[in-house]
Structure 1
Amino acid sequence: MQLGLVALAMIFLSSMGHSGALKLSKARRQRRVSTEGPPSCPKGCERCSEYNGCIKCKPKLFIFLERNDIRQIGVCLASCPMGYFGMRNPEGNNRCTQCKIDNCEACFNRHFCTKCKEGLYSHSGRCSVSCPAGLRPVNETMECVDQRPAECELGEWSPWSSCMKKNKTCGFKKGSQSRVRLPLLQTHSPDTSPASVPSQTCAPQTEKMKCIVTKTPCVRDY
């Protein structure tokens, strides 16, 4: 009889110990889970996920999708890499968008190249091995320019104008914008007579490209 009571007591104590061990293990797991927070976002990132990287960048930064095997990981950059241009969104989350011009290293927008790959000339936003008829190559800048007199020098390109249509900046969605290179003023030494200086026959060089804007109604003047 006494042996039976002892056996029952040992079984009871063993079950109590096993139950306590299970409770302790469960408590440890709960503590471990509770201390695990969301993934820390990298610098410049406002919202991110463990699988896709950055989902939304902080203002003024561009989100760029890097290829990682079959995944695309979002990273935030101050400027877009070669072959991409920055597309700003008024609602935030600016993006790096890939250039769509062949042999282009840097572009102003999807369809206008500003820098071609090595050995190619740029003209009107396109890249080519040689310049079109009526244009001459400038090896220093790898551009195609008008056939002008040797004494004619043009300055740097001006910034692109606002997107316009029929001299208006409102009431349309698709328009055009332009930029210009103006002739540089000729300089000559004081002892050179004006008759010996070649006449300046330069004309400005202009480039145009199409543009798309958010359509806004024009305000009438009363």
Structure 2
Amino acid sequence: MTGASSACQQSGCLTCSDYNGWLSCRPRFFMHLERIGMKQIGVCMTSCPPGFHGNRSPERSTCTKCRSECDSCFTKNFCTRCRTGFYLHLGKCQESCPDGMVHSDAQRECVPGCPAECESCVNSESCTRCRPGLYQLSGRCYHVCPDDYEPNDELMECTPQVHCEVGEWSEWSPCSKSGRTCGFKRGQETRTRQVLQYPSPFGKPCPDISEIKECLVKRRKCPGGRRKTERNGRRSRNNRKDKESQE
């Protein structure tokens, strides 16, 4: 059956067929042929699907397939976006870019070559090697590394700064003097902490890892101190007696 049924008109169709679908479209609609198995069915659309461009004419407006390397196009010979693996340049999709230009995988386009600070690059946004004297970080080249990064002259890269990290303080030691804890009134107590992470050359240095403070103790004699004094006294008296007898 061929005619202008209400179903046709609601879909932008002017005339249609039970077998071939839409045969003609209303003004401002495009005729697009969709393949279903071994036959093609006409469909009326306000705009052509991806991979096709519209050809308008007073008699019939149709959708025409873009070139195989194009994702979308303005005309058959003027691409506006390329398929993966091709790069757009002056309306054409190419597998490689002309001299002085590099490809952008994100845009699928040929873009201006390496930035001035790059010696080599993947594309205009990502350097793989910087010019002498510059440091590389995430595809960019720097005269001075950004905050929280420091220059690595061996790799010529900006590397993250590493700051010193220390553990908790130990308990204060017993009050002592010259290694003894008795026989004095004033002494010192000490405490320490461990370095958990040593800093990089430009990182924050380590704080003090030991502290000393003065302390007072109740003065007491060391154990055995009195007997030792008595022995020393007897030894001194015996020495004097021996000396006198020799005279």
Structure of greater relative contact order (alpha carbons < 8 Å, 6+ residues apart): 1
As a proportion of its length, which structure holds more helix? 1
As a proportion of its length, which structure holds more strand? 2
TM-score, length-scaled by structure 2: 0.41
Indicate the structure (1 or 2) with the bigger Cα radius of gyration.
2
TM-score, length-scaled by structure 1: 0.45
